[in-house]
Amino acid sequence: MLIEDEVHGVIELPSFIEELVNHKLFQRLKSIKQLGLLSLAERPNGDHTRYEHCIGTYKSAQVQLNALRRNSNYELDLPVWCRHAVEIAALLHDIGHGPFSHNWESVCGGSFDHEHNGLMCVDIMFKEVKSKELLALRNDNNGRGLQLIKALIVGESERLSFPMMGHGYIFDIVHNSRCGLDVDKWDYLRRDNLRLQILTEEQMQFDEIFQNARISSDGQRIEYRYEDYHLIYKLFEARWGLHVAAYRLPKSLAFDVLLKKIVHRNQKKLLEIRGGSSGWDSFHDNEVLQQIASDPQAIYLSAPERWHKTQSCDHDDDDDCICVKSEKPGPGVDMKPDEFYALYGDKTKKRSIIRQMTSTPIRACYKLQ
C-alpha cells in the first residue's frame, strides 16, 4: 500500500500495517480533525486529520529506528517483533481520540483520556487480526507484543510483565515520558506548521535532534548530541509558537467553551461513549455536530463571523457572551531541566540557551450575534 503524504512524500506500508490502516477504527480517524475546532474558528487551512498524523508518526518512527541503528555502536539488535511493536504503537498512538481531538477531553471535563481509551481500541482491532505478523504479536509468549504496543502508547514501561533486556530505549520513541522528545511531536509540529504556515523554515530546523540520536551504552535511553542541544530548545520554541499563534487562539478556545456548554445542555449521553461502546467507529466530528444541531447556539460553531470581540461580558449569566482566560508557559518551562536529557559527544559543542520562562496571557470575550 502506497500513501502520498504531504510531509514525508510516498509512504510504503507492508501488508500487515495495511490491515490495521483499513480497519474501521483507523478509518474513523479520517473524520477527526487534528486541530479540533481550530479550522471552524479561525484557521480553515488547519483541517488535516488524525489519520494523516498517525501514518506520519508511523513513518517518523521508522526513520528514528533507522537512525538509532546507524548512529549506535550497540551490540544488541532490536528483535523484529519489538520493531513491529514500536511502529504499530506509533501508528495507533492516537486511535482513541474523541471528536475534535483534544477538544473532546475538554468537553468531557477530564473524564476522558484519549490514550487510555485507545488501549480499548487496540484490543478490539487485535481481536480481529489475520496477518501472521499481527497474530504473532497477539499470541506469542503470552501476547508480549500486544502488551508492548499498549505500554509504548501510554509511555509506561512498568505496564510490562517482562523485562526489555537491554532495549528500554524504545520507550523514548513514541511517547517519551522522560524528556518529551518523541516522534509524535516530530510529526505534528512539521505537519501543523506546513498547513498553518506560521513558523519560518529556520524556526523549524530541529530534525537533526532525531537524525543524530543514538542508543545509550546500557540500552536504556536515547542519547542526543551535545551540539544539538540548542535544537532541543528550538523544538520547544516551535511548539510554543504554534500554541500561541494557533492551538490556543482565543476564539478557538471560546469555540471549545461553547461546544462544552451545548453538549452538557442537550447531549450528555455523548460524554459516556468510549472505544468499547457500540457506535464508536462512527463517533466523529460531524456526528457530534449533527447530534447538537437542534441547539439554538449550535449555528455559531459554523459561523465564526458572528463572534464579535468585546471588552467584557455585562453579566455572568449572559449565555450569548463567552470569555476565555488562560496562559501559555514559555518554552523554557515546557523544556525539562538539563538533567532529563541524555547527551553524548563533544561537550564543548553544547551551545548555551536562554530559557524564556514568562507565560503568555490569553484573554478575550466574544458576543454571539
Q: What is the pLDDT of residues 165-197, one digit of tens each?
A: 899 999 999 999 999 999 999 999 999 999 999
Provide φ and ψ at 197, rounded to 5°.
55, 55
* Cell 511548539 belongs to residue: 239
Average pLDDT estimate for 197-226: 98
**Count of Cβ atoms closer than 10 Å to residue 22 Cβ:** 11
CA distance 30 to 48: 9
Condensed to tens digits (0 to 9), the pLDDT of residues 287-341 reads 999 999 999 999 999 999 999 999 998 777 789 999 999 999 999 999 999 999 9
Look up residue 191 and give its three cell numbers: 505537519
The rounded mean pLDDT for the chain is 97
Q: What is the pLDDT of residue 203?
A: 98
pLDDT at 40 over 80: yes
Query: pLDDT at position 318, please?
Result: 86
Residue 46 has pLDDT above 80, yes or no: yes
Whether 209 has a pLDDT exceeding 80, the answer reads: yes
- Closest to 36 (Cα-Cα) out of 100, 94, 97: 100
142-171 tens-digit pLDDT: 999 999 999 999 999 999 999 998 999 999
In a 10 Å sphere around its CB, with 0-12 CB exposed, 13-18 middle and 19+ buried, how is residue 64 labelled?
buried
Strand partners, 348: none
The pLDDT value recorded for residue 176 is 98
Map residue 170 onto helix, strand or coil.
Answer: helix
Q: What is residue 317's predicted lDDT score, i.e. its pLDDT?
A: 78
Structure pTM? 0.96
pLDDT tens digits along 92-122: 999 999 999 999 999 999 899 999 999 999 9
The type of residue at 27 is Q
Cell 509504548 sits on residue: 152
Per DSSP, 79 falls in state P
